[in-house]
Amino acid sequence: MSEHDGPVHTGGEDTSTHLSTDDCGCGTACDVDVDADVDSAAATPPPDGPATDLAPNRAAFGVPEMDCPSCAGKVESSVRRLDGIGDIDPQVTTGRLVVEYDPEKATLDDIKTSIEGAGYAVDDDPTTRTVTLSVPDMDCPSCAGKVENALDGVSGVLEYETRPTAGTAIVTLAAETDLSAVVTAVENAGYEVTGTDADDLSDSDGDTDRSSVWRSTRALKTWVSGAFLAAGIATEYIFGIELVVTTILSVSFTLPEVLYLVGAGIGGQEILRNGYYSARNRSLDIDLLMSTAIVSAVVASLISAPTSLYFEAATLAFLFSVSELLERYSVDQTRNSLRELMDLSPDEATVRRDGTEQVVPVEDVVVGDVVVVKPGEKIPVDGTVLDGESAVNQAPITGESVPVDKAAGDDVYAGTVNEAGYLEVRVDSAAGDDTLSRIVSMVEDAQANKTEREQFVERFSGYYTPFMVAVAIGIATIPPLLFGLDWVTWFVYGITMLVLACPCAFVISTPVSVVSGITSAARNGVLIKGGSYLEAMGAVEAIAIDKTGTLTKGELTVTDVVPLNGNSEEDVLRCARGLEMRSEHPIGEAIVSHAENNNLDGREVSAFESITGKGVRADLDGVPHYAGKPGLFADLEFDLRHTHVTDAEDALSDDLRSLCNRQGCLNLVEDTIPRLQDEGKTVVLVGTADELEGLVAVADEVRPDARATVERLQSFGLSVVMLTGDNEGTARAIAEQVGVDDFRAGLLPEDKVTAVEGLLDEYESVAMVGDGINDAPALATATVGIAMGAAGTDTALETADIALMADDISKLPYLYELSHQANHVIRQNIWASLGIKALLAIGVPFGLVSVGLAVLAGDAGMTVGVTGNAMRLSRIQPDE
């Protein structure tokens, strides 16, 4: 994000004061040392004052609860702890805080968090607002630079972010700043603002018809320019006409030269216009370089007549205009990938109100409304099905290829398609807050997050262009001056080097690849929240996967009940049900569900206590009971090697029954528990402090595609490690079933963090896959955190770096393949654009590269090439 680097504006004289509660009168105990600007209220205009009270690098925050000098001191002290903070102006009388900050060290969000950390809510609306400008002509980094330079000159602009891949500029303004001044500044930089998301600027201004780049005004001028260039070539080289048609200021012009000049004038009109704005904004970009080259060619021809460079000027104007059109077309293809996401949600909804159905804009639908969705229609909102049954195509959100059956009580998402049935849906989220809107917003934000490669490219380009300009000047002047060589020839070589001085293709090589990869992933149900995560995922060496809910379905069921010491199976289940009633663990929920399905009554439960990582304790009918891992009962000093079976006719294996018949007991440690665990089951013991009443075994079914997914990941050379809180035996059974390389068992939530840290010591980069909620610490520890089944789950969407929207582990190989290929494409684009520029530059002094070849190969060709290469990422699809 770019911010201002402007002059400092201070509002008063600093004084240091010690205030007590009585001094401030705010009624709170805020006896603190305050270094406050107590005179600033008088020295600084109120919020509705002139816009000039805010200078660049100064942000204003509404803090209505900051109503005394002592309160202001607390806020100031909190903000002062941040790095990069300059003058702070707390304005108690207006509830406003103005902060000078260094955008390289602190952001607006950092300052806001510090204010809130002092105990004061921040109300941004009275003092700042954020507006998104649509600037479709801003389609390259140099264009964005000119827009940024223009915004730097607007008083009241606090912060901005340009997104050339999306053609938008996001501007944060002081509330009193006139938006039209911002729009005027951008348009004075040469870029039309076709609309904003604000109400005070109509989207109808300007030409918003972007249906065809090739039929635009600039395209028409380009074709006319090309026609005059072709006519000049035909006249001079085919028909050999050298007729002098006019003489101006003793300079004669032949017919071909006139045709070339007209072609250069028509084709170069937009170039010179943009070059003027570049010079005005002190931006050394391609427009300024091309304008310099065209004007230099014409001026040199006038000075050195009869030597003529009009052909070079016309060629440069025409071919560069073609190059710009190609660049616009290529960037539009990239932008379309995001527009397709935005267009998934319908604009209207059929709402049932007051017993009648009415069609309203989706923005007018409110939470609680009932929306009617007929067969074949898109569902306009996130909600819950109240009535009806249908198959819903959720591919736009989750990427699932097979429609999902929906009935009363099921969740549905905006943008999904009702295939066949009739549905009535209660609205749970307003328009703009639904899952699809959050996905689009996160994808847009992801495009703005610059990767390390992108930051390097931008830094490199800052040195590349000035260096190449210096080389061009040297080539044009040194050989004629020092060696007496033909100055016209070397002047043309210098112009050619100017063409190669623009790093456009090099600079866009990374962002177009990132945008293509992220939007392609989003269409397939994978939300990547930044280009850095896309790159990081493609470079991981190992993947840690939490077992429950990822490799397995996460739907536990009771498989075995073994009563002990005179208890019945019903007794064991009744006790287990009572103990697990208040537990939120999936194992507890499975036991409760099984007991309820068997119509077993509960018991009176009190004094419930969760024993982290081991089990639960509660009083059942006044008697303390326990349920949990064998280790819990070992801690209670039970001898698990000698336990009597209630009934030798219970459903036990033949070997266990024989053993019991011979000895009248079971060795749980060596026999029963290991047997069940080897079958991939988890064993829960139930009993009191004095008696072991029985055991319950539960199992989680392995996903059918888990093994194929693991094998596919391993085929990429990745190590796959399973993490689980299960015991060693259960973990080993599941690990062998799915084929992972290694596993870590018996892990508590904090142990998973340690396990990931251990993997990071072994591998350079590690991805962690979990549910995004219970595994959030481990996801944050990994190089890349991946949450699975995130659709409709706000927490998972926010905490994970990457979210698999569907509950589908088979998307993991697709994610890695896409990310890995994206890294290849980015490297190809960077080195190809640099390599071709270098080869062309080497050929210029030897007369091997003409102006036309430099434009077509070095600029237009490479721009189209890197964009086309990036778009190949959209061809990568998940395995069916």
pLDDT of residue 267: 93
Q: Which 3 state secondary structure label does DSSP give 333?
A: helix
Number of neighbours of residue 618 by Cβ within 10 angstroms: 24
Distances (CA, A) of 482 to 64, 303, 473: 71, 21, 14
pLDDT of residue 98: 80
Residues that are catalytic: 546
95: confidence class by pLDDT, cuts 50, 70, 90 = low
Tokens of 29: 């105990």
Higher pLDDT, 401 or 366: 366
Residue of 281, 142, 332, 169 whose CA lies nearest to 859: 142
Q: Which of 169-178, 222-231, 294-303, 456-465 has the lowest mean pLDDT?
A: 169-178
Does position 735 have pLDDT exceeding 80, yes or no? Answer: yes
Sign of CA dihedral 447, 448, 452, 453: positive
CB 675 within 8 A of CB 552: no
pLDDT of residue 580: 84
13: confidence class by pLDDT, cuts 50, 70, 90 = very low
The phi and psi torsions of 60 (rounded to 5 degrees) equal -110, 135
Percent of the chain with pLDDT over 90: 23
CB 400 within 8 A of CB 406: no
| Cα-to-chain-centroid distance, residue 758 | 28
Higher pLDDT, 254 or 142: 254
CB 161 within 8 A of CB 182: no
What would the mean pLDDT of 72-101 be, rounded to a whole number? 78
- Tokens 């067969």, located at residue: 375
Tokens of 668: 């749980």
- 3-state SS of 463-487 is HHHHHHHHHHHHHHHHHHHHHCCCH
Which amino acid is residue 559, in one-letter code? T
CB 290 within 8 A of CB 473: no
Q: Which residues of 697-720 are buried (b: 16+ CB within 10 A; e: fewer)?
A: bbbbebbeebebbbebbbeeebbb
Residue of 137, 98, 69, 96 whose CA lies nearest to 8: 98
pLDDT of residue 33: 36
Check whether the bond before 306 is cis (ω within 30° of 0): yes
Residue 127's Cβ-side half-sphere holds a number of Cα atoms within 13 Å equal to 24
pLDDT digits (tens, 9 = 90+) for 577-589: 888 887 777 788 8
CB 679 within 8 A of CB 729: no
Higher pLDDT, 772 or 517: 517
DSSP 808-853: -TTHHHHHHHHHHHHHHHHHHHHHHHHHHHHHHHHHTTTT---HHH
The phi and psi torsions of 168 (rounded to 5 degrees) equal -135, 155
DSSP-derived letter for residue 547 is I
Tokens of 192: 């039309």
Residues paired with residue 572 on neighbouring β-strands, in sequence order: none
Q: Which of 4-8, 280-284, 415-419, 681-685 has the lowest mean pLDDT?
A: 4-8
Give 834-843's long-range contacts (Cβ < 8 A, gap of 24+): 834/506, 836/861, 836/862, 837/500, 837/503, 837/505, 837/506, 837/862, 840/500, 841/468, 841/471, 841/497, 841/500
Number of neighbours of residue 496 by Cβ within 10 angstroms: 30
pLDDT of residue 173: 82
Q: Which 3 state secondary structure label does DSSP give 45?
A: coil
**Edge-to-edge, what's the strand order for the sheet holding 417-418?**
404-406, 390-393, 417-418
pLDDT of residue 667: 63
Does position 707 have pLDDT exceeding 90, yes or no? Answer: yes
pLDDT of residue 70: 59
Strands of 66-127, DSSP E: 85-91, 96-101
What would the mean pLDDT of 764-789 be, rounded to a whole number? 86
Strands of 750-801, DSSP E: 766-770, 784-788
Does position 336 have pLDDT exceeding 50, yes or no? Answer: yes
23: confidence class by pLDDT, cuts 50, 70, 90 = very low
Q: Which of 142-146, 792-796, 802-806 has the lowest mean pLDDT?
A: 792-796
Does position 27 have pLDDT exceeding 70, yes or no? Answer: no
Q: Which of 150-159, 192-201, 413-422, 798-807 has the lowest mean pLDDT?
A: 192-201
What would the mean pLDDT of 522-548 be, rounded to a whole number? 91
Sign of CA dihedral 46, 50, 51, 53: negative
Distances (CA, A) of 178 to 113, 172, 203: 28, 12, 17
Number of neighbours of residue 870 by Cβ within 10 angstroms: 28
Cα–Cα dist 99/266, whole Å: 49
Cα–Cα dist 690/590, whole Å: 26
Cα–Cα dist 130/168, whole Å: 13
CB 77 within 8 A of CB 32: yes
The phi and psi torsions of 416 (rounded to 5 degrees) equal -85, 165
pLDDT of residue 747: 86
pLDDT of residue 665: 57
**Angle between helix 862-871 and 811-843 (nearest 10):** 170
What would the mean pLDDT of 662-680 be, rounded to a whole number? 69
Q: Which 3 state secondary structure label does DSSP give 411?
A: strand
pLDDT of residue 24: 41
What's the CA angle centered on 267, arms 264 and 270, to 5 degrees?
120
pLDDT digits (tens, 9 = 90+) for 592-622: 888 888 888 777 888 888 887 778 888 888 8
**Edge-to-edge, what's the strand order for the sheet holding 383-387?**
356-361, 348-353, 370-373, 423-427, 383-387, 411-412
Does position 494 have pLDDT exceeding 90, yes or no? Answer: yes
Does position 841 have pLDDT exceeding 90, yes or no? Answer: yes
**Edge-to-edge, what's the strand order for the sheet holding 719-723?**
526-528, 802-804, 784-788, 766-770, 542-546, 719-723, 742-744
What's the CA angle centered on 27, arms 25 and 30, to 5 degrees?
85
CB 36 within 8 A of CB 93: no
> Quick one: which H or E segment has residue 682?
strand 681-688
pLDDT digits (tens, 9 = 90+) for 111-154: 888 888 777 788 755 456 778 898 888 877 778 888 888 898 88
Mean pLDDT of the chain: 80
pLDDT of residue 669: 60
Higher pLDDT, 200 or 660: 660
- Tokens 């013991």, located at residue: 685
Residue 282's Cβ-side half-sphere holds a number of Cα atoms within 13 Å equal to 4
Residue of 854, 862, 747, 878 whose CA lies nearest to 805: 878
What would the mean pLDDT of 34-55 be, rounded to a whole number? 33
- Tokens 């099921």, located at residue: 410
Nearest 10 degrees: Cα torsion 23, 25, 31, 33:
-60
| Cα-to-chain-centroid distance, residue 220 | 38
pTM recorded for the entire structure: 0.67
> Rg of the Cα trace of the chain?
35
CB 766 within 8 A of CB 542: yes
